[in-house]
Amino acid sequence: MSTRTSESFIDSNLDYDVVVIGAGISGLYQLYCLREAGFRACILERGTGVGGTWYWNRYPGARFDSESYSYAYSFSEELLEEWNWSEHFASQPEILRYLEYVADKFNLFKDIRFSCEVTKAQYMEEETCWQVILADGSTVSTRILITALGILSEPTFPNIEGINSFSGESFHTGLWPKTPVTFEGKNVAVIGTGASGVQTIQEIAAQVRNLTVFQRRPNWCAPLNNSDIDVDEMNEIKANYKDMFAICSESHGGFIWTLDPRGTFEVTAAERVSFWEDLYASRGMSIWQGNFRDVLSDPMANKELSDFMANKIRQRIHDPEIAELLIPKDHGFGTRRVPLETKYYETYNRPNVDLIDLNRSPIRGISPKGVITSEGEYNVDTIVYATGFNAITGSFDRIDIRGASGRALKEEWSSHLETFLSVQVPNYPNLLMINGPQGLGGNHPRNIEYSVEWVTSLLEHMKSRDLRRVEPSISAVQTWSEHVRAKSGSALANKIDSWMTGINTNVPGKDKRVVGFRYGGSVQSYRLLCDSVAKGGYKEMIFS
Ligand code: N01
């Protein structure tokens, strides 16, 4: 790499204008936009194919739990017209086929370097560029580095003694192999009952000889109510795409479900129950995202809804003791991520399925034969770890990212997690993040498309003015971070331990809730702020 200081944004001495890390939903669209805007760009991807989350999470039963058509790309009318979804909630193989189709249709493969794991990224002040170091020792230089790492892409195994001593097969849901895994006739243990565990358990229960589920904290699950989409229905969906995406951009979380403007106690008890019965029978996240406006913020309203959901669990499970074990007692409905299920509760009525309450009999270790709890040893052929992810910051921690001061980002964030709009970090010039910390939750593809377009506009602004360096001002970072923290106040979810509040008991240093780990405001308030920064000529950012 040349050591001269270049005068313009575009510098042929650098390998690229922009390097994107990750070929998931964010990275693919980012590459598309960069190319449309005339940048020399590439994606570095550690996997051997595109898809990100949908490339790695091939576990049995993995599928969308937002409606397929609302959780895919919206940027291309041609793509919307061409692609037909087969189910309201598509399964992982179909989603992966879709993302491969997108990459092929827009000729993205030629600029994606697969099996390229980025181990280090160093900002070079003199050259105003990033030097990206790959696992094979080679380097790539780029003016701008964009992370499209995904928020749940660093799987974590439990800290259990003897975990490497197991002599059977073991898998993490987020690192599922491409080669088929057989469960027929096997004794299988699943550890973890979050969204991945629930999808796996309900899928494999009928295949295995015996399934033992090791549960620490139960989650409130809601019916997915999935069904096939036939040709007529798909045509109807296509005809309504415009209206549907308009609803997404107007709803709090970007979903097709909007909160009911009524308060829980503004209607009679009978009306309340009838409304909840309807939601329980409707698709997907309706009961979570389309409920009364106060159920996720008012403890009394939340308690009323939680009681309704607890009774549903009791009605569906034959053994009352098992039912009680599956009813969360430490958090209300919707305050952690709600796994969506298909006959999940009925799974525990099967004679070949056992539920172990880890609060009563904690895991003591893994032996060559299986799982040891305080009450005994469970001999199994296969262990499935559905134990989650080092969320949001974990995928950054994996890479040694060093900014202008030479300080590692991991170190920076261990004491002080602040960004500007979840897109930039002070002292890390020319590093832009899609879905960084302090970002929106909710409907990710909708958020991703917006953020990718915002970042692309910022880069066009820089290129057209020959600006080579960008970082946020300290005051802008402080104002944004204070706003994020203020928005963390009302939602009950922020008072509960989960990956959404930055907790992962298997990762050292992740045992305390982070106020403002994610942005708790609405999609609209986030976009309003980002739009005003762009319209105002990016005054909150320092360029040179
Ligand atoms: O992970 P999780 P996940 N000993 O962190 C348990 C998205 N997603 O992969 O709750 C024993 O939710 C842990 O117990 P506890 C979605 O956003 C989307 O399931 O900490 N148990 C918990 O039960 C979701 O929220 C889809 O007490 C241990 C489980 O493991 C996110 O991914 C599908 C343990 C981890 O649950 C993460 O979901 C799937 C230990 N040492 C996932 N350590 C879609 O459909 C952890 N656990 C789009």
59-79 residue pLDDT tens: 999 999 999 999 999 999 999
Q: Which residue has the tokens 């969906």?
A: 237
In angstroms, the CA 192 to CA 215 distance is 6
- Check pocket membership of 44 for ligand 1, CB cut-off 6 A: no
**Atom 18 (ligand 1): residue with closest C-alpha?**
195
What band does 489 get if pLDDT is binned at 50, 70 and 90?
A: confident
Mean pLDDT estimate for the chain = 97
Q: Whose C-alpha lies nearest to ligand 1, atom 7? A: 195
pLDDT in tens, 465-481: 999 999 999 999 999 99
Decide whether any atom of ligand 1 lies within 6 Å of the 328 Cβ.
no
193 CB near ligand 1 (under 6 Å): yes
User: Which of the residue ranges 33-37, 97-101, 187-191, 516-520 would you say has the lowest mean pLDDT?
Assistant: 516-520
- pLDDT value of position 16: 98
Contact 253, 493 (CB under 8 A): no
pLDDT exceeds 80 at position 534: yes
Nearest CA to ligand 1 atom 26: 195
Q: What percent of the chain stands above pLDDT 90?
A: 97
Percent of the chain with pLDDT over 70: 99
- Ligand 1 atom closest to the Cα of residue 500 is 25
CA 1 to chain centre: 36
Look at residue 150 in the predicted model and tell me its pLDDT.
97
Q: Given a cut of 70, is residue 5 above it in pLDDT?
A: no
User: In the prediction, which pLDDT does 6 show?
Assistant: 65
Distance 12 CA to ligand 1 centre (A): 45
pLDDT of residue 256: 96
346 token code pair: 């009925």
Query: Could you tell me the pLDDT band of residue 415, with boundaries at 50, 70 and 90?
Result: confident
- In this predicted structure, the answer to whether residue 461 has a pLDDT above a threshold of 90 is yes
Rounded mean pLDDT, 283-306: 97
pLDDT of residue 1: 57
Asked if 218 and 348 touch (Cβ cutoff 8 Å), the reply is no
pLDDT tens-digit series, residues 310-319:
999 999 999 9
Q: What is the CA radius of gyration of the chain?
A: 24
Opening angle at CA 455, ends 454 and 461, nearest 5: 90
**With a 6 A CB cut-off, is 371 part of the ligand 1 pocket?**
no
Segment 360-381 mean pLDDT: 98
What domains can be seen in the chain, in order of their start residue? Answer: 3-50+108-154+391-468 (3.50.50.60)
Give the pLDDT score at 8: 84
Contacts of 349 (CB under 8 A, 6+ apart): 317, 318, 319
| pLDDT beyond 80 at 239 | yes
**In the predicted model, is pLDDT for residue 300 greater than 60?**
yes
CA distances from 521 to 473, 498, 516 (A): 22, 18, 10
Please report the pLDDT score of residue 490 as a whole number: 79
Mean pLDDT for the stretch of residues 287-314: 97
Cα(221) to ligand 1 centroid in Å equals 13
- For residue 4, pLDDT over 80 is answered with no
| Ligand 1 atom 37 nearest Cα | 388
Q: Say how far apart CA 334 and CA 182 lie, in whole Å.
A: 34
Span 349-376, average pLDDT: 98
Candidates 97, 117, 134, 103; CA nearest to 15 is 134
* Alpha-carbon gap, residue 136 to 120, rounded angstroms: 11
Angstrom distance (rounded) from CA 153 to CA 396:
10
Q: What is the pLDDT of residues 378-405, one digit of tens each?
A: 999 999 999 999 999 999 999 999 999 9
Q: How far is the CA of 217 from the centre of ligand 1 (A)?
A: 10
Maximum C-alpha span of the chain: 74
220 lines ligand 1 (CB under 6 A): no
Q: Of how many residues is the chain composed?
A: 544
CB of 61 sitting under 6 A from ligand 1: no
> Is the beta carbon of 386 within 6 A of some atom in ligand 1?
yes
> Which of the four pLDDT bands, split at 50, 70 and 90, describes residue 496?
very high
| In the predicted structure, residue 10 carries a pLDDT above the cut 70 | yes
